[in-house]
C-alpha cells in the first residue's frame, strides 16, 4: 500500500510491488480504473438553493472538509470486499463514492436528497463495516465511521425505521 515506508520493511528480502487487484490490469502497475469515473458521473452534484448565502463559517465546513482530502487513489475500492470478493460492481458504488456522497449530503448548503440512491443504486447496506477502506486510506479519511455509518443511519432514519415511519404518519411529516 502506498502508506508503507521502506524503512518499515525487511530489506534483506526483495520488495514486491503489485498492481491493485480489483480492476483490470493494463500493463505493469497500470490498471483500468475507468469504472470508478463512470460511477462518479451518476452522483448528483452539489445543489445549493437558488438564494443561497454562500457566507458560512469554518465550523460548518469542518465536517465535510475531511472528505475533500480524497486523492482518488482507489485503494479503498480495491480492498473493499463487496467489489473484490463479491463482484458487486453492478450494485455498489464503493467506499470512495460514499466519501463523495457524504461530503455532499452533509454540506450545509446542499439541498438535494440522495438517500434513495444511497440505499438502492449505491448499495450502502452491502458494506459490512469491516473498516478495510479506512485502514488503507493514505489520506487518513475515516471512511467507515465518518462517511458510511452516518449515511446508513440517515437512510434508516428516513426510509427504514418502522417506528419513525408510524410517527411521521401520525404527525403528518
Partner 1 sequence: MSHPVTVGRIGWFKTDRQDTWWLEPLLVIVGLGLFAIYSTISAVVLDSHFEYGPYLSPFYEPLILVDWWHFSPAILILWVPLGFRVTCYYYRGAYYKAFFLNPPACAVTGSETKSYTGERRFPFILQNMHRYFLFLALVLNVLLWVGAIKSLWYGGLVGIGVGRSRCRSCRTSPASPGPSGPLELQGGQVRFVWR
Interface residues with ligand SF4 (CB under 6 A)? 70-76, 79-82, 95-96, 99, 127-133, 136-139, 141, 143-144, 148
Among ligand SF4, partner 1, none, partner that 70 touches (CB below 5 to 8 angstroms by kind): ligand SF4
Q: Is 44 in the site for partner 1 (CB under 8 A)?
A: no
Among ligand SF4, partner 1, none, partner that 61 touches (CB below 5 to 8 angstroms by kind): none
What's the min distance (Å) between Cβ of 90 and partner 1? 7
As a whole number of angstroms, the distance between CA 106 and CA 147 comes to: 9
Among partner 1, ligand SF4, none, partner that 125 touches (CB below 5 to 8 angstroms by kind): partner 1
Among partner 1, ligand SF4, none, partner that 62 touches (CB below 5 to 8 angstroms by kind): partner 1
C-alpha triplet 166, 91, 106: angle, nearest 5°: 55
As a whole number of angstroms, the distance between CA 166 and CA 49 comes to: 30
What's the min distance (Å) between Cβ of 108 and ligand SF4? 21
As a whole number of angstroms, the distance between CA 76 and CA 42 comes to: 19
Q: What is the DSSP string of 98-167?
A: HHHHHHHHT-TTB----HHHHHTTS-GGG-----HHHHH-TT---IIIIIIHHHHHHHIIIII-HHHHHH
Q: Which residue has the cell 454540506?
A: 107
Q: Which residue has the cell 448528483?
A: 44
User: Which of 109, 10, 117 is closest to 53 using CA atoms?
Assistant: 109
Among partner 1, ligand SF4, none, partner that 75 touches (CB below 5 to 8 angstroms by kind): ligand SF4
Per-position x/- string for 107-146, each x denoting binding to partner 1 as judged by CB under 8 A, each - no binding: -x----------x---x-xxxxxxxx--xx-----x-xxx
Residue 72 or 161: the one with the smaller Cβ distance to ligand SF4 is 72
Q: Is 81 in the site for partner 1 (CB under 8 A)?
A: yes
What's the min distance (Å) between Cβ of 15 and partner 1? 11
Amino acid at each position: 500500500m502506498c502508506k508503507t515506508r521502506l524503512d518499515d520493511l525487511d530489506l534483506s528480502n526483495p520488495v514486491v510491488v503489485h498492481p491493485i487487484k480489483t480492476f483490470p490490469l493494463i500493463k505493469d502497475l497500470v490498471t483500468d480504473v475507468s469504472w470508478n469515473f463512470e460511477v462518479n458521473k451518476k452522483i448528483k452534484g452539489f445543489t445549493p438553493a437558488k438564494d443561497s448565502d454562500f457566507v458560512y463559517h469554518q465550523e460548518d465546513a469542518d465536517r465535510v472538509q475531511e472528505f475533500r482530502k480524497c486523492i482518488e487513489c482507489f485503494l479503498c475500492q480495491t480492498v473493499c470486499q463487496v467489489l473484490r470478493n463479491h463482484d458487486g460492481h453492478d450494485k455498489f458504488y464503493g467506499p470512495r463514492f460514499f466519501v463523495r456522497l457524504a461530503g455532499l449530503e452533509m454540506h450545509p448548503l446542499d439541498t438535494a436528497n440522495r438517500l434513495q440512491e444511497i440505499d438502492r443504486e449505491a448499495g450502502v447496506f452491502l458494506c459490512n463495516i469491516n473498516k478495510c477502506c479506512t485502514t488503507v486510506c493514505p489520506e487518513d479519511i475515516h471512511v467507515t465511521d465518518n462517511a458510511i455509518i452516518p449515511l446508513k443511519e440517515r437512510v434508516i432514519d428516513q426510509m427504514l425505521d418502522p417506528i419513525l415511519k408510524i410517527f411521521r404518519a401520525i404527525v403528518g411529516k
